[in-house]
Amino acid sequence: MAAVLAAGGYLAWSDRAPRGEPVGQSAPGLADAANSAGRNNSAGIASGGPDAGRRPAGDPFGAVTTAASGRPARLRVGAIGIDTPLETLRLGDDGALQPPKSFAKAGWYADGTVPGDTGPAVIAGHVDSRGGPAVFYRLRELTVGDRIDVVRGGSTVRFTVTALRWYPKAGFPTDEVYGPTPDRQLRLITCGGVFDRSLRSYRDNLVVYAVAG
Three-class SS of the chain: CCCCCCHHHCCCCCCCCHHHCCCCCCCCCHHHHHHHHCCCCCCCCCCCHHHHCCCCCCCCCCCCCCCCCCCEEEEEEHHHCEEEEEEEECECCCCCECCCCCCCCEEEECCCCCECECEEEEEECCCEECCEECCCCCHHHCCCCCEEEEEECCEEEEEEEEEEEEEEHHHCCHHHHHCCCCCEEEEEEEEEEEEECCCCEEEEEEEEEEEEC
pLDDT in the model for residue 100:
93
What is the rounded average pLDDT for all residues in the chain?
A: 76
Residue 15 or 166, more confident: 166
Range name among 12-16, 178-182, 209-213 with the lowest pLDDT average:
12-16
Cβ-based neighbours of 129, under 8 Å, separated by 6 or more:
17, 21, 22, 23, 24, 103
Q: Residues 58-83: what's their mean pLDDT?
A: 76
pLDDT in the model for residue 52:
58
Q: Is 131 a residue whose pLDDT tops 50?
A: yes
Give 130's pLDDT tier (boundaries 50, 70, 90): confident
pLDDT in the model for residue 53:
54
- Structural domains of the chain sorted by starting position, each given as residue range(s) with its CATH number in brackets: 7-49+67-212 (2.40.260.10)
Range name among 62-71, 78-87, 113-122, 179-188 with the lowest pLDDT average:
62-71
Q: Is 18 a residue whose pLDDT tops 70?
A: no
Q: Is 11 a residue whose pLDDT tops 50?
A: no
pLDDT in the model for residue 112:
93
Q: Taking the CA of residue 19 as centre, how many other CA atoms within 13 Å lie in the half-sphere pointing to its CB?
A: 2
> Model confidence over 30-65: pLDDT tens digits?
555 544 344 434 333 233 444 555 555 444 444 444
pLDDT in the model for residue 97:
75
The closest of 185, 146, 195, 193 to 165, measured between CA atoms, is 193
Cβ-based neighbours of 101, under 8 Å, separated by 6 or more:
87
Q: Is 99 a residue whose pLDDT tops 50?
A: yes
pLDDT in the model for residue 196:
66
The closest of 111, 127, 144, 125 to 211, measured between CA atoms, is 144
Range name among 3-17, 119-133, 145-159 with the lowest pLDDT average:
3-17
